[in-house]
Amino acid sequence: MNVEITRLASGLTVVTETMPHLESVALGVWIKSGSRNETDDEHGIAHLLEHMAFKGTARRSARDIAEEIENVGGELNAATSTETTSYYARVLRDNVPLAVDILADILTESEFDEEELRREKHVILQEIGAANDTPDDVVFDKFSEVAYRGQTLGRPILGTPDTVQGFTPGQIRNYLSRNYTTDRMFVVAAGAVDHTTFVKQVEERFARLPMTPSAPPVLEAARYIGGDVRETRDLMDAQVLLGFEGKAYHMRDFYCSQILANILGGGMSSRLFQEVRERRGLCYSVYAFHWGFSDTGIFGIHAATGGNELPTLVPVIIDELRKSSETIHQQEIDRARAQIRAQLLMGQESPAARAGQIARQMMLYGRPIPNPEMMERLEGITTERLTDLAGRLFFDTVPTLSAVGPIEQLAPLTDISTALATPGIQTKKAAG
């Protein structure tokens, strides 16, 4: 791993991985701040800021930003999540100085023009509307809302029409000054990049970043609550999401949880796919996932199926969860490890994937994690650890259930909880 790290006097961290066989470079700025860092009156502002960064600076109009990067065949984009925000580009090696200049420009000199803000609010309102019209988006948003009820972690990243329409340029600047500071920012590049040259370019162009926040960043401690949320809609399919509190990035069982999710529903050979879809034909989509955050996590099973299949589908899923707490085969662990290893190695062939991976590891662990070290952590996972984890995850915590669509035949959460807690008990809807 040819990774070099330099921490500038300003506190900004610069990381590169040189891939000399490439002609392109993926680079970006990752900020350890997202929707969780919003105050109660800022719901949606992290995402709005990400949009507004491209809408004009003291030196460039919104059109200039788009044209300059595309004139050289490059790409420019951004993303907001619950705990991070990223602004990134991909260009040929000769155009790295231009990409650095544009990224620095939009992050240090954005004007947040009133007219541009008005137009972008309208765009985000359409984005919110589109998300509300997409059942598999809705089921995840509602799941988070009830799992972390009344908390920033449970709020939709996009905000609401009311909150988005009410934001002012001053509020955006306040959020920016509080969260976009050098101690929380990482500039990362992977590909045909020279570390020393890149550091000099970053140091020169990002000199205007504040070193300390105007006020301490907000991060409310997560409290997993769990519960039930349902929305009946006239749709062809029902979207169902059953979940439990998972593990944070730094917890001992984090990697175990990733392996368990893979075994249960990580691909076509997984238990849920084989039993629910292939053997029984109960749904067209079923998978398991584990999301880690800084202080909590979510382990979930998502299925999309016809409403009439729900009375049979849910007990089968519960039965597979119970089986995972009783028996895990070594072959399943080996297959899951092989899939993760392949993903890691394939990611090394993509500069964009590597830049993103390095940035995430810097934010989470303070250093890049070499692939051999990652695999070594996975090697210590045994069948006993996995069955023990499954028992604690699925049967010792309050579940969260989110459902959207023709869900009249979906059993009450109390029945599902009873079925989880009592071997051999089926939900009333399934038994009836």
User: Is 60 exceeded by the pLDDT of residue 432?
Assistant: no
Give a three-class secondary structure readout of the chain. Answer: CCEEEEECCCCCEEEEEECCCCCEEEEEEEECCCHHHCCHHHCCHHHHHHHHCCCCECCCCHHHHHHHHHHCCCEEEEEECCCCEEEEEEEEHHHHHHHHHHHHHHHHCECCCHHHHHHHHHHHHHHHHHHHCCHHHHHHHHHHHHHCCCCHHHCCCCCCHHHHHHCCHHHHHHHHHHHCCHHHEEEEEEECCCHHHHHHHHHHHCCCCCCCCCCCCCCCCCCCCCEEEEEECCCCCEEEEEEEECCCCCCCCHHHHHHHHHHHHCCCCCHHHHHHHHHCCCCCEEEEEEEECCCCEEEEEEEEECHHHHHHHHHHHHHHHHHHCCCCCHHHHHHHHHHHHHHHHHHCCCHHHHHHHHHHHHHHHCCCCCHHHHHHHHHCCCHHHHHHHHHHHHHCCCCEEEEEECCCCCCCHHHHHHHHHCCCCCCHHHHC
User: Is 50 exceeded by the pLDDT of residue 106?
Assistant: yes
Question: Do 270 and 322 contact (CB within 8 A), yes or no?
Answer: no
Question: Do 72 and 95 contact (CB within 8 A), yes or no?
Answer: yes
Q: Which residues belong to the active site?
A: 50
Give residue-wise pLDDT tens across range 234-274: 999 999 999 999 999 999 899 999 999 999 999 999 999 99
Task: Give the closest residue to 310 by CA, choosing from 283, 350, 333.
Answer: 283
Give the model's pLDDT for residue 428.
46
Give the model's pLDDT for residue 1.
62
Average pLDDT, the chain: 93
Give the model's pLDDT for residue 424.
52
If you average pLDDT over residues 221-225, what whole number do you get? 94
Give the model's pLDDT for residue 423.
58
Q: How confident is the model at residue 431 (pLDDT cuts 50, 70, 90)?
A: very low
If you average pLDDT over residues 117-139, what whole number do you get? 96
Give the model's pLDDT for residue 60.
96
Where exactly are the structural domains of the chain? 3-205, 227-431
- The reply to whether CATH 2.30.110.10 applies to domain 227-431 is no
User: Is 50 exceeded by the pLDDT of residue 121?
Assistant: yes
If you average pLDDT over residues 16-21, what whole number do you get? 94
Q: Which residues pair with 302 in a beta bridge?
A: 241, 287
Give residue-wise pLDDT tens across range 340-395: 989 888 988 999 999 999 999 999 999 999 988 888 888 889 999 999 999 999 99
- For tokens 């991909």, the residue is 90
Question: Do 29 and 86 contact (CB within 8 A), yes or no?
Answer: yes
Give the model's pLDDT for residue 378.
87
Give residue-wise pLDDT tens across range 299-321: 999 999 999 999 999 999 999 99
Give the model's pLDDT for residue 203.
96
Give residue-wise pLDDT tens across range 63-76: 999 999 999 999 99
Give the model's pLDDT for residue 284.
92
Q: Which CATH architecture has domain 3-205?
A: 2-Layer Sandwich (3.30)
Q: Which residues pair with 400 in a beta bridge?
A: 227, 243
If you average pLDDT over residues 113-125, what whole number do you get? 96
User: pTM of this prediction?
Assistant: 0.92
Return the axis-axis angle of helices 45-52 and 114-132, rounded to nearest 10°: 120
Phi/psi of residue 58, nearest 5 degrees: -65, -25
If you average pLDDT over residues 26-46, what whole number do you get? 96
Give the model's pLDDT for residue 257.
96
Question: Do 240 and 314 contact (CB within 8 A), yes or no?
Answer: yes
If you average pLDDT over residues 424-430, what whole number do you get? 47
- For tokens 């996590």, the residue is 297
* CA atoms 80, 84, 85, 89: torsion sign: negative
3-205 and 227-431 have identical folds: yes
Give residue-wise pLDDT tens across range 402-412: 999 999 999 99
b/e per residue, 269-295, with b = 16+ CB within 10 A?
ebbbbbbbbeeeebbeebbbbbbbbbb
* CA atoms 240, 397, 269, 326: torsion sign: negative
Task: Give the closest residue to 88 by CA, choosing from 413, 430, 339, 358.
Answer: 358
> Whole-angstrom Cα distance, residue 284 to residue 281?
8
Give the model's pLDDT for residue 112.
96
Q: Rg of the chain over CA atoms, in angstroms?
A: 23
Q: How confident is the model at residue 212 (pLDDT cuts 50, 70, 90)?
A: confident
> Whole-angstrom Cα distance, residue 236 to residue 239?
10
Which residues, 6+ apart, have CB-to-CB distance to 192 below 8 Å?
A: 18, 19, 20, 22, 23, 24, 25, 92, 93
Going by their DSSP bridges, the two strands 227-232 and 75-80 should be labelled as unpaired
If you average pLDDT over residues 46-54, what whole number do you get? 97
